[in-house]
Amino acid sequence: MMKLALFLSAVASAAAFAPASQTAAPTALSAKSDYADDIGVQAPLGIWDPSSKLDLADADEVARLRGLELKHGRVAMLGVVGYLTTYAGIRFPGLEDVPAGWAAWGALPQEVAGQFVATLIFMEIANRDQTGGKAEFEGDFRNGFLDFGWDKQTDAWKTNKRKIELNNGRAAQMGILGLMVHDALGNVSDILP
Q: Which amino acid is at 116?
A: F
**What would the pLDDT profile of 133-167 be if each residue is shown by its tens digit?**
677 777 777 766 667 788 889 999 999 999 999 99
* Residue 73 predicted with pLDDT over 70: yes
Q: What is the pTM of this model?
A: 0.75
- Taking the C-alpha atoms of residue 76 and residue 64, their distance in angstroms, rounded to an integer, is 18
- Taking the C-alpha atoms of residue 39 and residue 73, their distance in angstroms, rounded to an integer, is 14
* Residue 38 predicted with pLDDT over 90: no
The pLDDT, as a whole number, for residue 24 is 42
DSSP per position, 160-174: HHHHHHHHHHHHHHH
- Taking the C-alpha atoms of residue 65 and residue 128, their distance in angstroms, rounded to an integer, is 15
- Taking the C-alpha atoms of residue 89 and residue 99, their distance in angstroms, rounded to an integer, is 9
- Taking the C-alpha atoms of residue 163 and residue 160, their distance in angstroms, rounded to an integer, is 5
Burial class (CB in 10 A: 0-12, 13-18, 19+), 38: middle
Alpha helices in the chain (DSSP H): 2-16, 28-32, 59-87, 103-107, 110-126, 155-185
Average pLDDT, the chain: 80
* Residue 19 predicted with pLDDT over 80: no
Q: Classify 34 in phi/psi space as left (phi over 0), alpha (psi -120 to 50) or beta.
A: alpha
Residues 33 and 49: beta-carbon distance below 8 Å: no
The pLDDT, as a whole number, for residue 1 is 57
Give the pLDDT mean for 106-112: 87
